[in-house]
Amino acid sequence: MYPLKFRPILKQTIWGGDRIIPFKGLDSDLKNVGESWELSGVPGNESVVANGEFAGMTLRELINSLREELVGESVFKRFNTTFPLLIKFIDARQDLSIQVHPNDELAKKRHNSLGKTEMWYVMDATKGAKLRSGFAKQVTPREYKESVANSTITDLLSEYEIHPGDVFFLPAGRIHSIGAGAFIAEIQETSDITYRIFDFNRKDANGNTRELHTELAKDAIDYEVQDDYRTHYTPVKNEPVEIVACPYFTTSVYDLTEEITCDYSELDSFVVLICMEGKAKIVDNDGNEVNVHAGETILLAATTQEVSIVPDGNVKILETYV
């Protein structure tokens, strides 16, 4: 097994910007690209291999063929042929809607789907850009509904000015919103279930507002209040820094100027490497080499024992696995 690249799935959105195409170095004139789905097993939006002998195969076809060899024994036992993570880049020219995602239990009951726990890594942000995460004060379900009805829901949420390198962990049930000017990498469970709570009364080109799911969201929201919803960590050069560890994924950030070797011999999972800045060469224990640059995502099979990351200058990479 060699390091796999995939064709990006570009999503044009009402709030999308103009940064994803140049960031990824794509030859495209698409406008308002709000998301690039880098690695997806979501039905109808499945990633397709872009390199090597498996080029043209979908991620699900790959899992059906390679099974534990690709994803790991424990991962295959837990998720079968569903790839458990969805990796995205998100570029917000406008505020995204305020939303929440159900947990696994509620998503299974209502949609026969996984829930959606996720995380954000801020790659870039315009001056003054903000994210909203969690309630700033104690709110009852009734007060929540009233605030949506009178368009004051934003007054109830914790809001943070963001800068490159900021991290937010968003367990299912946490109300949140990505603000205008945010450019982020998102790692989440494989689920496309979103309850849109408030959309700032926006209308599309045809004068229509988007569907809201205020009532569905009411029972999905975790109303617990925390003092700080940010994820704090200490950046370190040339070694992995773990930033999130939860039942669905473990994520570390690498800020490299020197070659580093990653030992995966004890890990029973695939590994995803998301290049956010610079470029590097990835070499696995079988001698397979692949070059990666900002905006590219690599999937390493569970059979991979180790890889060396050889940076060309400074490179920043997110590493995530189950």
Provide the pLDDT for residue 212.
Answer: 93
Residue type, 71: V
Nearest to 86 by CA among 299, 314, 305: 299
Residue type, 156: L
CATH number given to 241-321: 2.60.120.10
Q: Does CATH place domain 4-231 in 2.60.120.10?
A: yes
Q: Is the dihedral of CA 58, 62, 67, 71 positive or negative?
A: negative
Q: What is the pTM of this model?
A: 0.96
Query: Residue 99 and residue 153: Cα distance in Å, rounded?
Result: 11
Q: Domain residue spans in the chain? A: 4-231, 241-321
Provide the pLDDT for residue 205.
Answer: 74
Query: Residue 55 and residue 48: Cα distance in Å, rounded?
Result: 7
Q: Tell me the DSSP string of 171-222.
A: -TT--EEEPTTEEEEEEEES----EEEE-TT---TTSPPPP--HHHHHHH--
Provide the pLDDT for residue 67.
Answer: 97
Provide the pLDDT for residue 154.
Answer: 95
Quote the tokens at residue 56. Answer: 């043209």
Nearest to 14 by CA among 182, 199, 212: 199
Query: Residue 321 and residue 304: Cα distance in Å, rounded?
Result: 13
Provide the pLDDT for residue 208.
Answer: 87
pLDDT tens, residue by residue, 245-280: 999 999 999 999 999 999 999 999 999 999 999 999
**Position of tokens 């995502």?**
297
Helix segments in the chain, DSSP class H? 20-24, 59-66, 68-71, 73-79, 104-111, 141-149, 214-220
Do 4-231 and 241-321 fold alike per CATH?
Answer: yes
Phi/psi for 79 (5° steps) reads -120, -5
Query: Residue 78 and residue 127: Cα distance in Å, rounded?
Result: 42
Residue 104 burial (CB < 10 Å; 0-12/13-18/19+)? middle
Quote the tokens at residue 220. Answer: 């999905």
Low-confidence stretches of the chain (pLDDT beneath 70): none
Provide the pLDDT for residue 206.
Answer: 83
What 3-state DSSP class applies to 308? Answer: strand
Q: What is the Cα 258 distance to its own chain's centre?
A: 26
Are 85 and 249 spatial neighbours (Cβ–Cβ below 8 Å)? yes
Are 256 and 309 spatial neighbours (Cβ–Cβ below 8 Å)? yes
